[in-house]
Amino acid sequence: MTALPIDAAVPRRSPRLLVVWWSRTGAAQALAQAAAEGAASEGGVETQLARCDTVGPQALLECDGLIIVTPEMLGSAAGMMKDFLDRSYYPALGRIEARPYALMVSAGSDGRGAAQQIERITTGWRLRRIADPLIVCTHAQTPEAIEATKTVDESALHRAREIGATLAAGLMLRLW
Ligand SMILES: Cc1cc2nc3c(=O)[nH]c(=O)nc-3n(C[C@H](O)[C@H](O)[C@H](O)COP(=O)(O)O)c2cc1C
C-alpha cells in the first residue's frame, strides 16, 4: 500500500483573520466591520472581529493574519488600542513573525501619528504589511463634532472591504 503524503493525511484548518478594533464614536468600528465583511466575502477564512479590550495576546498567537483599526487620539493610537498592544507585545514577540497585517486609522484631520506609532510596533513584531495604511478623516474639529457619532463615506468603507478581502484571499492562497 502506498503511504499518503503527510499533507493529505492531516486536515488543514481554515486560516484565521483577527480584526481588532477600538472606537469611541463609530468611525473605526465601521471600518473594522467593513474589513471583516470583505474578508467574509472571500469565503473559507475564519474571521474574528474583536474589540481590543476583549482580547489579548492569545488572539494574536492564534491568528494567521491581522487587521488593526484604531482612532487617532492626541497624535497617537487610542489609549485602549495602545493598552492591547502593551499587553500583547512581549507575549507575541518572536511568535508571529511574517504574518500579514493591515492598518486602518480614523482621524479628525490627520491620522499619521497613530499610523506611524502602530507601524513601529508591527515592525518590532516583524509583521508583513500587505497594504498602505488606510487613514480616514471624519473632519471633526469642534468639541461637538468630535463627540458626534460618525458616518464613514462609502468610498472609505469600500477600501476597507477591499483590504479585508485581499488579506483573506492571500491567506486562502497561502500567499503570505
Ligand atoms: C481626545 C481626542 C483626541 C483626538 N486627537 C486627534 C488627533 O490627534 N488627530 C486627529 O486627526 N484627530 C483626533 N481626534 C479626532 C478623532 O480621531 C475622530 O473623531 C475619529 O472619528 C474618532 O474615531 P472613532 O469615531 O472611531 O471613535 C481626537 C478626538 C478625541 C476625542
- Split into its structural domains, the chain has a count of 1
Burial class of 175 by CB neighbour count within 10 A (0 to 12, 13 to 18, 19+): exposed
Q: Residue 156's pLDDT is what?
A: 98
| Domain assignment present for 107 | yes
| Domain assignment present for 60 | yes
Q: Which of 22, 24, 82, 109 to mutate to test the pocket of ligand 1 (most atoms within 8 A of CB)?
A: 24
Q: Residue 3's pLDDT is what?
A: 57
Q: Which amino acid is at 116?
A: Q
pTM of the model: 0.94
Q: What CATH number should be reported for the domain holding residue 120?
A: 3.40.50.360
**pLDDT tens track for 10-69:** 557 899 999 999 999 999 999 999 999 999 999 999 999 999 999 999 999 999 999 999
| Domain assignment present for 131 | yes
Burial class of 67 by CB neighbour count within 10 A (0 to 12, 13 to 18, 19+): buried
Locate 1 and state its grid cell: 500500500
Checking if the pLDDT of 9 tops 70, the result is no
Ligand 1 pocket at CB < 6 A: 23-29, 71-75, 106-111, 138, 140, 146, 150
Residue among 100, 113, 22, 41 at smallest CA distance from 66: 100
Find the mean pLDDT for residues 117-137.
Answer: 98
| Domain assignment present for 1 | no
| Domain assignment present for 86 | yes
Range of the domain at 162: 6-172
pLDDT band for position 176 (50/70/90)?
confident
Find the mean pLDDT for residues 72-100.
Answer: 98
- Give every CB contact of residue 14 below 8 A, 6+ residues apart in sequence: 44, 45, 46
Q: What is the share, in percent, of the chain residues with pLDDT greater than 90?
A: 91
Q: At what angle do helices 112-124 and 79-92 cross, to 10 degrees?
A: 10
| Domain assignment present for 168 | yes
| Domain assignment present for 12 | yes
| Domain assignment present for 156 | yes
